[in-house]
Amino acid sequence: MLLYAIVAGALVFSIVEAAYQWTRVRRERVEARLRRRVGLAEPLRPLLRSQTGWTARAADRLDSAGLKGTPAGWIGRAIAVALVLGAVGQLVSGPVAAALGALGGPALVLLWIARKRRLRVDRVNAQLPHALELMLLGLRAGHALPRAVELAAEEVAAPAGTELRRVADEHALGRPLEQAFSALARRLEGSDAVRTLVTGVLVLRQTGGNLIEVIERILDTLQSQEQYRIKLRSLTAESRSSGFILSILPLAFGILAALADPSYMRLFVREPSGRTLGLAAIVMWIVGVVWMRRMLRPEA
């Protein structure tokens, strides 16, 4: 029965994924024709977006994570994962495990998207100093700021190059440069480097001043911050490794206990008191992991 449930869940997931991929391919073909007509190299999906409200915010989150697809498509994926985990939990343990599995499916998808976004934002932070150096070269050569941004986008690899290219494309389509930079800061919310750059550009566009000197100061600040982060990671390396070991010890003990005596772990599933203790242990474990992560990230 468990095998049948897994196969059925995989079939449901495959159907949902196939339908989503089919609609995405059709949409990308239409956007490719539009790109050829207007002469843009990057996809127009973010530039021609018509969503408003929470769909627009969700689409920005997906863009900042570097993930393709619409919010509706990712909601469908989360539902498919919830169905699979719920079916497996129902056959393995019962209604309680099925409910936990159904709730855990969307949570896993959201955590994965958040992790992808955090890694991409960190990558942008690491690439931004090089992009600013290229922008400085363009400004010193006599180019205007939009052209300097375009030159930096051509030379810097993704994801920073992709984001700068989007700023240049939005400005080429008629969007004011201030709004294009503001949208960049909104997409990459949480990036101190991007926020510092956008703030400096917006202030200078409104009040005037020497943009080259401001970007040079921003570049020096970013380099100092990067040196601080490297030094901080080296000083907390031992504490981070200890925290990682402590966080995986409960999971390792549970796996070893299940392998050594399966009846011992069944008590946490079948007995009401066992389920209560197991749920309390999971909650305390999550709180402990989050607490250790916050302690080891004082810059957050």
**How large a percentage of the chain has pLDDT more than 70?**
80
* Mean local confidence (pLDDT), 22-51: 58
Provide the angle, in degrees to the nearest 10, between the axes of the packed helices 95-140 and 71-92. Answer: 150
pLDDT (0 to 100) of residue 50 = 46
Specify the range with the lowest mean pLDDT, choosing from 84-93, 117-126, 252-261. Answer: 84-93
Whether residue 85 contacts residue 105, with contact meaning beta carbons closer than 8 Å, is answered with yes
Q: What is the mean pLDDT of the chain?
A: 78
Give the separation between CA 164 and CA 173, rounded to whole angstroms: 14
pLDDT single digits (tens) 234-290: 887 888 888 888 888 888 887 787 778 777 777 777 778 877 888 888 888 888 888
Q: Per residue, what are the HEC states of 161-211?
A: HHHHHHHHHHHHCCCCHHHHHHHHHHHCCCCHHHHHHHHHHHHHHHHCCCH
* 14 CB neighbour count, 10 Å cutoff: 11
**pTM higher than 0.85 for the full model?**
no
* 126 CB neighbour count, 10 Å cutoff: 14
Flag whether pLDDT at 203 surpasses 80.
Answer: yes
